[in-house]
Amino acid sequence: MHGYILINKEKDMTSRDVINIASKVFKTKKVGHTGTLDPLATGVLVICVGQATKLVEVVTSNSKEYIATICLGLDTDTLDITGKVLNEENCTLSKDDIVKVLNSFKKTYNQEVPAYSAVKVKGKKCYEYARAGIEVELPKKEVTIYNIDLIDEPTYKDNKTYFKIKTKVSKGTYIRSLIRDIALELNTVGTMVDLVRTKQGKFLLENCDTLEDLKNGKVKLRPMIDLVDDIEIKSIDDNVKKDILNGKLLENKNNCEEIAFVDKNSNLISIYKKYEKNNKFIKPWKTFVY
């Protein structure tokens, strides 16, 4: 079995929990997701099965869209509402103040990862240090906030300001860190109350299957070719297929950067990329054996 599924991840479960369920349903250990969602978060989780796991990094690189609920005036160790409260302060900010700062975040910048994250420092995950009470210098990663907008009017409760944002971000962006950084620009602290991933690349929340349907065997694998249909796709005969499976360089007739080859049965056979040593040729990057 080879292909992918789209699941609307539920709250209070890890992305790994969904992988384990898919592994049992499809009876294979070759299962992987294309971007972790925190237990608090819900929404689009793209899961690759079988040979499609070779395309995980392709899908992971896609941009993502989220709707996040933010509380200003509250700080926790995990940067979300599930964590231990570190600081509280009165904070009632106007819509104009919030919008001005949000607009300033449509940029590329170096974002510090959360202490509670799976990013590794000296071979250990950051959350392992955090749980042990050990302070480490947290890595920073370059991220891009393509768009960020306030949706709905801010609300106020217990001297805190609550509002929702919709944002499109690059690979590797932590929304919890983004919220922390927005709060700092507003001269306060902030934490994430809720998060929904509404889109990853071209995959939309409304096209996702439910976890219940997955458990009940009602979810069918979608074709692998969908994962690469944004690049040129070319059909090949059996002779060329044999050359490809043997890893042969091919002539780069159309001067393409990358190209996907499918056989007469529309099975994805390989993805080739431009050969850096000689641009007249393309070389295999991902090859799929069924």
Q: Which of 65-69, 87-91, 190-194, 275-279 has the lowest mean pLDDT?
A: 275-279
d(CA 215, CA 24): 9
Amino acid code (one letter) for 186: L
Task: Answer yes or no: is pLDDT of 162 > 90.
Answer: yes
**pLDDT on residue 58:** 87
Active site residue 38: yes
**58 vs 93 pLDDT, higher one:** 93
Nearest to 142 by CA among 180, 179, 119, 173: 173
How far apart, in Å, are the Cα atoms of 235 and each of 244, 261, 263, 264, 282? 12, 6, 6, 7, 16
User: Using DSSP, how many helices (H) and how many strands (E) does the chain show?
Assistant: 7, 18
pLDDT tens digits, residue range 101-125? 999 999 999 999 999 988 899 999 9
Task: Choose among 160, 146, 161: nearest CA to 98.
Answer: 161
Residue 259 to residue 85: CA distance in whole angstroms? 50
Structure confidence at residue 288 as a pLDDT band (50, 70, 90): very high
pLDDT value of residue 230: 84
User: Which residues have C-beta within 8 Å of that of residue 180, sequence separation ≥ 6?
Assistant: 79, 114, 189, 190, 191
Residue 256: predicted pLDDT: 87
Averaged confidence pLDDT in the chain: 94
Binned at pLDDT 50, 70 and 90, residue 289 comes out as confident
How far is the C-alpha of 214 from the C-alpha of 19, rounded, in Å?
A: 11
Give the ranges where 113-170 is alpha helix by DSSP (H): 126-131
The confidence score (pLDDT) of residue 54 equals 95
State the distance between the two ends of the chain, measured CA to CA, in whole angstroms. Answer: 9
Evaluate if residue 1 carries a pLDDT over 90: no
pLDDT in the model for residue 101: 98
Q: Quick check: 141 and 126 in contact, CB under 8 A?
A: no
Q: Which bin fits 260, alpha (ψ -120 to 50), beta or left (φ > 0)?
A: beta
Percent of the chain with pLDDT over 90: 85
pLDDT digits (tens, 9 = 90+) for 238-267: 999 999 999 999 999 888 899 999 999 889
Q: What does the pLDDT look like over 82-98, one tens digit per residue?
A: 999 999 999 999 999 99
Instruction: Please determine, for residue 211, whether its predicted confidence score (pLDDT) is greater than 90.
Output: yes
Q: Which of 12, 17, 38, 243 is catalytic?
A: 38
> pLDDT-derived band of residue 186, with 50, 70 and 90 as boundaries?
very high
| pLDDT computed for residue 62 by the predictor | 86
Q: Is 287 exposed, middle or buried (0-12, 13-18, 19+ CB in 10 A)?
A: middle
CA distance 108 to 143: 6
Sign of dihedral through CA atoms 259, 238, 283, 280? Answer: negative
**pLDDT the model gives residue 279:** 87
The model's pLDDT over 26-44, given as tens digits with 9 standing for 90+, comes to: 999 999 999 889 999 999 9
Our CA dihedral for 53, 140, 67, 15, rounded to 10 degrees, sits at 30
- Kindly state the average pLDDT of the residues 160-173: 97
CA atoms within 13 A on the CB side of 193: 13
Can you list the domains of the chain with their CATH numbers? 3-62+202-225 (3.30.2350.10), 77-188 (3.30.2350.10), 231-287 (2.30.130.10)
Range 222-243 average pLDDT: 92
